[in-house]
Amino acid sequence: MMDKKIIYRLSHEHDKYVEYEFKLLGYYSNLEKLKEAILRYKKLEGFKENPIDYFKMRLVIVDEDNDYINGFEAYEEQKNGRSFENEQFLTDALKQFENDHINGNELKL
């Protein structure tokens, strides 16, 4: 399992206003670069006024299908289409990130 390569997708998401808002900010090769990106964005207009939990990280397995694996409109089925092995790998990696880098609602530096 450890031979799988993951990258980190950073987005800014909320439904603070009437509509759900999603901004894809970038893809990063490691957690340090992701943390640096969040700190850069937190200094910018629009981002600095919002809480840190509007920044969302998604782990993406490189060289594998990650979304819409059962067709265009199969959002709920996507979860079922992924292998348990991949889901466990991503879940473990996300838990490790949270343990290492997030304290409540604050990003650990």
Per-residue model confidence (pLDDT) at position 44:
94
Residue 75 lies in a domain: yes
* CA 85 – CA 18 distance, rounded (Å): 38
Confidence (pLDDT) at 41:
93
For residue 109, tell me if it sits in a domain. no
What is the predicted pLDDT for the residue at 98?
67
Taking only the tens of pLDDT, the chain with its 109 residues reads 457 888 999 999 887 777 788 899 999 999 889 889 999 999 999 898 888 888 888 888 899 887 777 777 655 544 444 444 555 655 666 667 667 766 555 555 4
In-domain check, residue 107: no
- Domain hosting 26: range is 6-102
Q: What is the pTM of this model?
A: 0.64
* Range 73-76 contact pairs with CB under 8 angstroms and sequence separation of 24 or more: none
How many distinct structural domains can be found in the chain?
A: 1
